Amino acid sequence: MFNRNTSLLAGAMTDDQLRDALTKAQQAYIDLATGTHGVSFSYGMGDGTRSVSYQQSTLADLLALIQLLQAQLGIVARPRRPARFRF
């Protein structure tokens, strides 16, 4: 069971900061899933070419972060179990 008092995010951020982080994580998930987010950029300077690259997250990493933030905020305590029918 998830405990908000002992999680990795306990006491680290206010609820407003957690909600902002959740919004950013959800947008990053959407951008990565749709392929609209770049990870490597290059540009020309007067003395040569420069490049910047960022580490690309996986969808699974972003999904885990989103679930942790949601649980910390009390939005979703834990994922729902699959429905099983017993006869």
Asked whether residue 81 is domain-assigned, the answer is no
Q: What is the mean pLDDT of residues 55-66?
A: 80
Residue 83: inside a domain = no
What's the domain count of the chain?
1
Residue 5: inside a domain, yes or no?
no
d(C-alpha 72, C-alpha 54), whole Å: 27
**pLDDT higher for 70 or 51?**
70
Domain around 54: 15-73
For the question of whether the overall pTM of this predicted structure is more than 0.85, the answer is no
Residue 46 is assigned to a structural domain of this protein: yes
pLDDT tens digits, one per residue of 19-46:
999 999 988 888 878 877 666 677 776 6
